[in-house]
Structure 1
Amino acid sequence: MMKSKDKENKIKIALISYSLSSGGLERVIANSSIMFNEMNIEVDLHILEAEIHYPFAGTIFVYDIKNKSILEKIRKYELLRKNLKNNNYNLIIDHRYRLSPSSEFFWQYYIYSKQKVVNYIHSSVLLHYFSSLNRKLINLIFRKRLFLSVSKEIESKVKINFPSQKIKTIYNPISFSKPEIKPEVQKYIVTISRMDFGNTKQVDVLLECFAKSKLPNNDYKLIIIGSGEKQTEMELLAKQLNVSNQVIFKGFLENPYHYLKNAFFTTLTSKYEGLPTVLIESLMLGTPVVSFDCETGPNEIIKNEINGLLVDNQNKIAFIEAMNRMISEPELYQKLKSNAVKSVEKFSIHQIKYEWEKFLNKEIINDKY
């Protein structure tokens, strides 16, 4: 149980994010606010853009800086700085990308002046969090900061590339509503993938693999949950691959869990990840998974031929073979399915709360930050 910093006062935490919109990172932040609230921690969210799609707990401050003039942005940032200072947070948890050295000087030494801050790393692409900074400049900007990562593999990469930085891994909290209805489709596989310009989730690769697999001819559908700028392009690709009748684009769904629960298996074809929450959620709901072994996270979740099939990174032929095995080897499939729930116990909300309790007791209560 977490000790109280002051018997009369709760620990108070601020979460910083760009939005709470339709992405996986944003869902993690919303889930974090709910988790902290359940831990009897007072939590505020400071959101830079006015996009709120996910349910959250605590008090929210929305700054709406998107598409604003420079002068308006300065005023918004000054308000953010004032709010962070006046609320006397025990800890600020920053979930932003950190792409610009000048911007980070501004954030770390002005916005966060004399405050206790941890900077989260959610992706294996370290340039998204350290920009193109050399080690000397990174040490100068972040010399009094601690980093948290969402996977052990990210933690190892940071230790190798930036050995002077303090970093610890705490897995993402998983919180979802129990599925209540069955989808109208009887036989299908599913992916939850945002289709943005960067094409990080590579829905095009999944469509190609699906079209070349045995699944369409065995009456399996592919349900794609997610939206983004490339959705129209992906719909056209499905037509070009002659599988448009077997592919269903559902768009963004706040609660996709009945689709995960009732899928034959869940897929992931990303270029890279941080910790792919969808794989954990799928397994928690008893649905096995097929995934590229991309950086980072899938190999911390999937035990090959135990709870899913882990495919050599970006090997399309191997991915097609893995999809085919799921429908052609029933004994293997039943083994994966029966192991699914138990295999992700280390990601349970109870375990993640315990890790946060240990962290907060050490870094805040005992003041060893």
Structure 2
Amino acid sequence: MKKIAIFCHNFYANGTVKVALTQAEILQEAGQDVHLFVFENQGDFPPPKNITIHYVFDSQKSLSLAAQKRRLQQCIHSIEQKNGKFSLFLSNSTDCDVVVDGCDFEPCYYFCHCALQQELIMELKRGPIHFLRRWKKAKALIGKRIITVSEGIATELRSTRWLKPQSVQAIYNPFRIDDIKAKAMEEVDGLPNEPFMIHIGRVTRQKRLDILFQTLHAMPTAPRLVLLTNRPEKARKLARKYGVEDRIITPGFQSNPYAWIARAKLMLLSSDFEGFGLVIAEALICGTPVVSTDCPHGPSEILTGDLAQYLVPRRQPAKLAAKALECLAHPPVLNNPEIFKVIDSQYVAEQYINLANNK
């Protein structure tokens, strides 16, 4: 049995947090001694059960970065004195990376969930302050052991000269496939009494809701679109700009999004870039077809074989609309796509444990 430390920034509903919590659960189920270090005790997701959780900071914002590092080191040292050394450290977000960097935890692996180069370019376009804020976090990865969540990101980072990583490897995000299928069958309140499509994602430039709403405008005969998003009012305001506010449904945060995904006719994604594309894999598990932009880096690794025809070039709403209508009219048969083999939680847990064994 290995003692494994996982760093998670908070419990807010996003893909990075979801992955960190799933990591903790599947490693605990695999017989490991998992400790989840949460920097901020706030957010939407409930804390995972049967996991040892340590809340590191009472108020992280009140501390300097140096003080945050000292507090985290003290926390780890105190636990190791009582219960023995950790065999593995996993840092799961950019906000964790900047604190973990320089703490000399060994062996420590830093997860890169994003298309890093694409994010830096996007922030540079927004202005120097945005770029410098993102660059400060990106620098924490220099010279580190990095785990990416797609082969595309791994290839990108290996060729990123300034990064000089100690190592880069891809391990796909873990999915508890049977649990997702079971939750997809549950009855939940608020489901529309009409056919609908679905989109899940934060309201950020990366997700390109402007392209999504232009796509919706170009397919007036299609069902309405449910948006499960963190900022529904901002989404509605943007939808109003493109004349489709009456074509969207924004129910807010859902504790069981799988029930919504499973009942949708189609999942539609319009992103400029992704790290992996959690919701694409979740849709396939729920038996819901997906039409997505062929953006860096995850969608083309998930939608393979016959499903590759549902990848559309970025920033082309007319083509995205045409492919969505085609998929609605003739939905594909989803019979255990290839990606399921490498995202199964037990398979991924073994890969994490091997990191501790090979230190």
Does TM-score exceed 0.5, indicating one fold? yes
**Deviation at residue 247 of structure 1 after TM alignment:** 0.8
Q: 1:118 aligns with which of 109, 114, 117?
A: 109
Aligned to 1:69: 62
Q: Give the letter for the 2:87 counterpart.
A: N
Q: What's the offset of the Cα at 1:27?
A: 0.9
- Structure 2 spans left out of the alignment, 5+ residues: 121-131
The equivalent position to 1:341 in structure 2, one of 333, 336, 339, is 336
Note the C-alpha offset of 1:225. 0.4
Alignment counterpart, residue 25 of structure 1, candidates 4, 9, 16: 16
Matched, 1:354 2:351: no
CA offset at residue 298 of structure 1?
A: 0.3
* Pick aligned residue for 1:192 from 189, 196, 200: 200
- In 1, distance between residues paired with 2:212 and 2:183? 27
The worse-fitting range, judged by mean Cα deviation, of 28-37 and 274-283 is: 28-37
* Aligned CA distance change for structure 1 residues 226 and 64 (closer, same or farther; 3 Å): farther
Match of 1:266, SS state, is strand
Q: 1:27-66 to 2 correspondence within 5 Å? A: 27-55=18-46, 56-57=48-49, 58-64=51-57
Taking a change above 3 Å as real, the CA distance of residues 60 and 20 of structure 1, as seen in their structure-2 partners, is same
Going from structure 1 to structure 2, the CA distance change for 1:66 and 1:324 (only over 3 Å counts) comes to farther
Once residues 128 and 19 of structure 1 are traced to their aligned partners in structure 2, the CA distance between those partners, rounded to angstroms, is 21
Write the distance in 2 (CA, Å) between the matches of 1:66 and 1:208. 42
Moved over 6 A (4+): 127-131
Q: CA deviation at 1:226?
A: 1.3
Q: 1:178 aligned to 2:169?
A: no
Could you give the per-residue CA deviations for residues 210-249 of structure 1, whole angstroms, max 9, x where no partner exists?
1111xx435x110000113xx3232123334343232101
**Which residue does 1:259 correspond to in 2?**
260
Change beyond 3 A, Cα 1:271–1:342:
closer
Percent of aligned pairs with the same amino acid: 21
Compared CA separation, residues 132 and 74, structure 1 to 2 (3 A): closer
Q: CA deviation at 1:126?
A: 4.1
Per the alignment, residue 76 of structure 2 pairs with 84
Report if the CA contact (8 A) 2:26-2:346 is conserved.
yes
Q: Tell whether the 8 Å contact from 2:148 to 2:170 is kept in structure 1 after alignment.
A: yes
Q: Give yes or no for contact 1:20–1:29 (8 Å, CA) kept in 2.
A: no
CA gap of 1:203–1:127, structure 2 versus 1, over 3 A, is closer
Instruction: Give the TM-score of the pair, scaled to structure 2.
Output: 0.82
Would the alpha carbon gap of residues 34 and 26 (structure 1) be closer, same or farther in structure 2, given more than 3 Å must change?
same
Aligned twin of 1:95: 92
Matching residue of 1:316 = 317
Amino acid at match of 1:40: G
- Tell me the distance in 2 between the aligned counterparts of 1:53 and 1:319: 32
Change (3 A) 1:252 1:204: farther
User: Aligned pair in 2 of structure 1 residues 232, 272: CA closer, same or farther (>3 Å)?
Assistant: same
Is 1:272 paired with 2:277? no
Given that 2:225 and 2:247 are in contact with CA atoms closer than 8 Å, whether structure 1 keeps it comes out as yes
Give the helix-richer structure, 1 or 2: 2
Whole-Å separation in 2 of the counterparts to 1:224 and 1:355: 30
Aligned positions of 1:288-327 closer than 5 A: 288-303=289-304, 305-306=306-307, 309-327=310-328
Give, in angstroms, the shift of residue 75 of structure 1: 5.1
Q: Classify 1:185/1:204 alpha carbon distance in 2 versus 1 (closer, same or farther; 3 Å).
A: farther
> Paired residue for 1:217?
221
User: Aligned in 2, Cα 1:193/1:308: closer, same or farther, shift over 3 Å?
Assistant: farther
Cα distance per residue 1:230-278 (max 9 Å; x no partner): x323212333434323210121212110111111110111121111110
Flag structure 1 segments of 5+ consecutive residues without an equivalent: 1-9
* TM-superposed deviation, 1:168: 1.0
Task: Say whether the 8 Å CA contact 2:197–2:225 is kept in structure 1.
Answer: yes
Shift of 1:45: 1.3
| Gap change, CA 1:286 and 1:279, over 3 Å in 2 | same
Deviation, 1:76, is 4.9
CA shift, 1:132, in A, is 4.9
Q: 1:154 to 1:66 in 2, by over 3 A?
A: farther
